[in-house]
Chains A and B, each alone.
Chain A
């Protein structure tokens, strides 16, 4: 009897737990070193050195930051709603990490291979905004409240543009499963990727992703010059660190999704290309390295944006989302429909 229970429940559960750890530990390490790379990259862009005190060339800086935040006191503002104050960062990190369950890292490397993967990710990112809303409301602070209202409006607006951009991908791949979307781009190397026929949607997706994660230049939610630090102004110590983790995990999620949906994921750009015999060399093999390299490009773009652009004004953000992005996506969805019926090679050939 015990053996039966073990074989039915325990072993699959342990199997899943091991997979979750195998995703989360590298992810959290990436987040930690992403913050270091961000400070370094922006430092070099601004002709500074960036962190270089802790460890050789500052490599231990994120560890030191994490230790400092862990041992700092958590301060509850007077009149704050304590329960919601603690639930808010938990909700932010939970949804940011839960979305990774459906991300495939290779043809067979996926934790949950579900049919509605893309919708699931949209659902998780849209629930993530509750972390911000709860934080702002539970803090009992004017600045946090202002930030909450800004974030709610911004995220809801850009979710529409992002959803429409993803509709184009779904139309091209005829599937919501991310693994199938990647395989739909296979066969002709870099030209088979969906970024070519869906170029406007690709750009809109990534810019909306930047807006969704409240990163510069769309970071009115934490505009330092106006509302101090936005929704997490009252947070300190580990609770603040959790918000930080969630934001960076979301940035990496947007990056890896851009790589998977528009740039062929783990497929090699040289696959099936006859030029110089590249299509048959070892470079043509698809592997997780390609996926990570493509993701790194988008992660770098996030930092580049932050170092380059001044912050958008609030009405400009709303105008860009509603009056530019949404009309463009709707028009391009029709164009995708035409390309679909024209069976435009190599993207829309029915298998």
Chain B
């Protein structure tokens, strides 16, 4: 049963990954990438890594790919232009692809340190085993420094991205929301006492 599930999702993953690079329309390619993430999340679930599987969906499917689509939908991509150098660049592309495939193959099957044979299959856990608490224990004790360094690197990345795109333009006349929020009725509304007209006098 589990093997069937594994092969179904693996087939899904490989097929949709293939579609990502062969489909013409960039938006469709992005959607196939979403499908690939889903399939890999399912395979992680089979590995009893439910935390990582759900995080994969939240972070990549829920946030990264949404922003990706955001950008791709706004672009006006000319497919004919993109395909112009296809034949010319083909030999180089094939070479790079073969090199990458060879490396992956070496990691999976060959070598002294690598290969499936060198690693024991993951142990089965009981139903009450919690992947999250295990992960938390490791992250905050054994790997706490690497965890913190990763956090700092991310923070630096955020600051760099913001400072790269921040343009101060003091001349633009944009709305100052703080002032709008802080406004009170006395600032906008002036109640004027008017003396009533002496109408009867005028009529005479």
Interface residues of chain A, those whose CB is within 8 Å of chain B, are 84, 114-116, 119-120, 122-123, 126-127, 129-130, 133-134, 137, 145, 148-149, 152-153, 155-156, 159, 176, 315-316, 319
Contacts and interface: CB of A to CB of B under 8 A. Distances in A.
A191 B41 CA distance: 40
A171 to B, nearest CB: 12
B177 A116 contact: no
A127 B50 contact: no
Contacts of B130: 115
Contacts of B63: 126, 156, 159
A152 B66 contact: yes
Contact of B131 (A115, A120, A127, A319): A115
Nearest to A117: B54
Contacts of A114: 50
Interface string B28-67: 0001001000000000000000110011011001110011
A313 to B, nearest CB: 9
B131 to A, nearest CB: 7
Contact of A145 (B61, B62, B73): B73
A123 B44 CA distance: 15
A126 B60 CA distance: 10
A120 B63 CA distance: 15
Nearest to A113: B127
B132 A115 contact: yes
Nearest to B55: A119
A157 to B, nearest CB: 10
A130 B131 CA distance: 28
Given A120-B54, A126-B61, A130-B34, A156 B132 contact: no
A176 B132 contact: yes
A137 B55 CA distance: 26
Interface string B154-190: 0000000000000000000001010000000000000
B76 to A, nearest CB: 13
The 4 A-B residue pairs with the shortest CB-CB distance, nearest first, are A126-B62, A123-B57, A119-B54, A123-B58
Contacts of B66: 126, 129-130, 133, 152, 155-156
Interface in B64-91: 66-67, 69-70, 73-74
Given A137-B27, A159-B63, A176-B132, A152 B69 contact: yes
Interface in B131-157: 131-132
A309 B53 CA distance: 39
A303 to B, nearest CB: 26
Given A123-B62, A127-B57, 7 more contacts: A84-B31, A120-B54, A122-B58, A123-B54, A127-B61, A137-B73, A149-B74
Nearest to A163: B58
A130 B67 CA distance: 11
24 contacts: A114-B50, A115-B50, A115-B131, A116-B51, A116-B131, A116-B132, A119-B55, A123-B58, A123-B62, A126-B58, A126-B63, A127-B57, A127-B61, A129-B66, A130-B34, A137-B73, A152-B67, A152-B70, A153-B70, A156-B66, A156-B67, A159-B62, A315-B175, A316-B177
